[in-house]
Chains A and B, each alone.
Chain A
Amino acid sequence: MSEWRFWFNSQRGTLLALAIFILTFAIYLANHPAIVNNGLTVQGVGNVVQTAANKGILLALIAIAQTFVVLTAGIDLSVGMIFVLCNVVASFVVVNNLGAAWGFDLGPVFGPAVGIVLVLLVGIACGAVNGAIVIFGRLQPIVATIATSAVFFGIALWMRPQPGATPEFAKALGKVMLSKVNGVIPASMVFLLIVVVLLWIPYRRSVLGRATYAVGSSEAAAYMSGMPIRSAKFLAYVWSGLFSGLGGLYITFVTSSGQADQAAAGTYTLNSIAAVVLGGVSLFGGRGSAVGAVFGALAFLTIKDLMFVLNVDPLWQPLLQGVILLIAVSIGSARLFQVRNRLELFG
């Protein structure tokens, strides 16, 4: 029994995010026009969930990316721009005839597969640049990533001055990734589950993964304990780049095109920070999980969409969204009232 208590304690933030998500999504579902008009059918619920899932996976992936850096007590303001850059790259390379221009057409199976690898490598490279600047340049993460995100934007803009698509884009693959498995479960959620199980959980249980938490919680103690603090930080930025890249890949499946969209990058970056906080990841570092961030992202989007289905006057929507978000975030910080030495409030 007491084992459960420790587990509950360590997962408190994640569980809270899950609860907020379930609550808001239930309200959302109950008021959705498709459900209200046609009753609670498997088909109807499946469609609503699919739409929400295909939108939610984008922010969920970016939120996971943000989680890695926030766990080290840093912040990554370039996640949105890596996402946009990878979208632009994907719109060129995830194609059915990759290599045709150089005379070695890889065909409709290998072509997109190699293309995906290339996109993810770009994401990883961006993350590695961030990590190298923060660790070896000793710059503040917030400044370093503002600067690199401008660079990434420049590259994206150079590749696609105008929004556009490649005719040979692997549309069939994109269709599969946005479909429903068995006609019920959204493929995007299956993909997210696979990513979390294959990438996040091994990371969480690796030595370097633990070192990431240690660095964020107390870098001095981690150093004194002889932990690999530099590698851990570097890896956190690399994984952040990889997950932003996955996000960029997925938006390309949705739009089948690429766009160097500065506004979208900014929105995704800021929303990812809101999502991780909502998901119980501490901005002071060392606490939280990617699973929590995923629920935080889904809850965040649901709160936004709630206003539509509740028919709130559009003029009032941003204000109400903000208030609900504030309430949701405050639940997690209620424990500050227990602090006894007031100096610790500023720690």
Chain B
Amino acid sequence: MDATNPLFRMEGISKRYGGVRALERAELTVHAGRVHAILGENGAGKSTLIKIMAGVVAPDEGRMLLDGREVTFPDPAAANAAGIVCVFQELSLIPELSVADNIIVSHPPTRLGMIDRRAQRGLAEEALARAGGGDIHPSTLIKDLSLSRRQIVEIAKALARKPRVLILDEATSALSASDVESVFGVIRRLRDDGVAHLYISHRMHEIAELADTCTVFRNGRNVATYEARTKTDEQVVELMIGREYHNVFPPKPPRPEGKKPMLEVKNLTWSPRLNGVSLDVSAGEIVGLGGLDGQGQRELLLALFGVLRGASGDILVDGQPVSINSPREAKADRIGMALIPEDRKTEGLMLPMAVRDNLSFAAMSLFSRGGIIDRSAERRAIDEVIKLLAIKTDGIAVPAGSLSGGNQQKVVIAKWLMRKPRIILLNDPTRGIDVGTKQELYQLLRKLADAGAAIILYSTDYDELIGCCDKVLVMYDGAVKRMLAGTEITEKALIASALNIDADLKGAGAMRPAAQ
């Protein structure tokens, strides 16, 4: 290890998105020939840090040094040219192009000004073989590959660029166990060749196996850097979560016993993303969905709401089997379901349309007769929800896009509350909204549950699952791996079961196997 001359350094990097601080004077030092693991919770600033390194976003302040010289990256191409190559979590592959085209995408070999396809094919095959994807045909279109295979192509693409610093952002999260092994082999070989690696993963055992150095991020800052394998899992988790805890959650009522479930799901499957999910929710109960990002939580909510074609398994409402084939059927009075979608800007709101129109869309049938909207009934209903949720808006005729993020989210929720749904599904509803609004939403959820609604809440924020939920189902690989109820719901228990660490952590509480 060359301790005196780091290959790459980031000093005092800060970045704000609107009012939210993503990074605050973060530091990072990367050495050649080392695997440097970055740990932290969702939203700790890891992704922003990487995006700055890779030239995707520009930092507000701070500087970056490569070989001791200050560098700036106006775009990803500049970072690539400097030898900093990122394997993104959100894939950067072009679906309509072939595997070979994608791997050699930026600087293909040319002859007479045209791409030399034979030479390109050779380079692509070599890169694929090194990335452990020798079985992938270079002429296949990306869109015809599975997620796991695409990820291998993504790694091959990075290797073909001859990186000096290789960033792997959750690069293994979509891979099968055997693929992970071959990728690890590649990383070790490259490390021996002097390539520096930044390795971001939620999988603790991978980090233990691979990393030389670890840095923990929390709230946009690097809080600790240590040699790998010098801290226990427990200490690491402690470092990741060690932040002040606001008591913003309403008290939970005692859990009612022996109530019949309002919504029951049995063996719901939509391969390969959902592998036999079973759960039940009673009236008055808030059930959380936990786990790492992308373990099937979103698909579960979409499947319940009738969006996924070809999902199998049984859904029972009030003990009666139902079949739900579209959101239109899901919201019908017989079922009374509502889904607050993940992306309010595309799936929740028509941004240029008025707040009034947005609020009425889902509930139009309630105040129209013979296809004609009763404007005064609509007005009354709207006034009611605006008051209920305390939506701050300049009248109901302004476009929804002009509201703040928190108030936009309130509109999305309000539009479904107008229907008085019995089953409410929420997909990460507090993402990107301020603390005050979050608190109001927590109160609202509890109020709705007390009024008899059955609620399923998916959240990437562990605090929220702990503070709001009566029980939490932790998902892993498209199935419910553990159920935590009452006092078992602690941050440690959530993280440990999300990471699928089998050993009990001290004080994590008893873990029960998932109720089948």
Contacts and interface: CB of A to CB of B under 8 A. Distances in A.
Contacts of B106: 225-227
Contacts of A213: 94, 96-97
B93 A221 contact: yes
Contacts of A217: 94-97
Interface centre among B95, B96, B115, B309 (most CB of A within 10 A): B96
Interface string B266-283: 000010000000000000
B137 interface: yes
B114 A218 contact: no
Interface residues of A, number: 31
B141 A10 contact: yes
A225 B101 CA distance: 12
Contacts of B92: 220-221, 224-225
A287 B107 CA distance: 21
Given A6-B137, A10-B98, A221-B92, A343 B113 contact: no
A223 B117 CA distance: 23
* Secondary structure call for the A interface: helix
Contact of B94 (A3, A214, A343): A214
B110 interface: yes
Interface stretch (B75-83, B204-212, B249-257, B404-412): B75-83
A138 interface: no
Query: For A10, A223, A342, which residue has the most chain B Cβ atoms within 10 angstroms?
Result: A342
Nearest to A339: B309
Contacts of A225: 76, 92, 94, 102, 105-106, 157
Chain A CB within 10 A, most for which of B56, B76, B114: B114
B75 A226 contact: yes
A9 interface: yes
Contacts of B115: 205-207, 210
A341 interface: yes
A192 B499 CA distance: 61
Given A224-B56, A341-B307, A214 B139 contact: no
B419 to A, nearest CB: 20
A212 to B, nearest CB: 11
A266 B77 CA distance: 41
Interface in A221-259: 221-227
A6 B95 contact: no
A227 B140 contact: no
A202 interface: yes
A78 to B, nearest CB: 26
A8 B63 CA distance: 51
Contacts of A221: 91-95
Interface string A195-219: 0000000100111001001101110
B309 A202 contact: no
Interface in B93-138: 93-98, 101-102, 105-108, 110, 113-115, 117, 137
A218 B94 contact: yes
A287 B108 contact: no
Contacts of A9: 141, 144
B310 A286 contact: no
Contact of A342 (B105, B108, B113, B307): B307
A2 interface: yes
Given A218-B94, A343-B307, A223 B76 contact: yes
A343 B147 CA distance: 18
Nearest to B143: A217
B264 to A, nearest CB: 23
Given A205-B117, A213-B94, A224 B302 contact: no
Contacts of A286: 94-97
A213 B91 CA distance: 17
Interface string A150-179: 000000000000000000000000000000
B326 interface: yes
B88 interface: yes
Given A6-B139, A202-B113, A226 B80 contact: yes
Interface in A53-86: none
A340 B108 contact: no
A214 B98 CA distance: 11
B28 interface: no
B309 A341 contact: yes
Interface in B33-71: 56
B308 interface: yes
A218 B95 contact: yes
A121 to B, nearest CB: 22
Nearest to B309: A340
B39 to A, nearest CB: 24
B75 A210 contact: no
The CB with the most chain B CB atoms within 10 A, among A202, A217, A221, A222, is that of A221
Interface string B191-233: 0000000000000000000000000000000000000000000
A214 B105 contact: yes
Contacts of B105: 210, 214, 225, 227
B101 A210 contact: yes
A207 B104 CA distance: 10
B308 A341 contact: yes
A207 B56 contact: no
A75 B81 CA distance: 33
A226 B94 CA distance: 12
Contacts of B91: 221
Interface in A301-345: 339-343
B113 A3 contact: no
Contacts of B144: 9
A222 B94 contact: yes
Nearest to B157: A225
Interface in A252-272: none
A226 B141 contact: no
A287 B96 contact: yes
B110 to A, nearest CB: 7
Given A223-B76, A226-B81, A226-B106, 4 more contacts: A213-B96, A221-B92, A224-B56, A342-B309
16 contacts: A6-B137, A9-B141, A205-B117, A210-B97, A210-B115, A213-B97, A218-B94, A222-B94, A224-B88, A225-B102, A286-B95, A341-B302, A341-B307, A341-B308, A342-B309, A343-B347
Interface of A: 2-3, 6-7, 9-10, 202, 205-207, 210, 213-214, 216-218, 220-227, 286-287, 339-343
Interface of B: 56, 75-78, 80-81, 88, 91-98, 101-102, 105-108, 110, 113-115, 117, 137, 139-141, 144, 157, 270, 302, 307-310, 326, 347
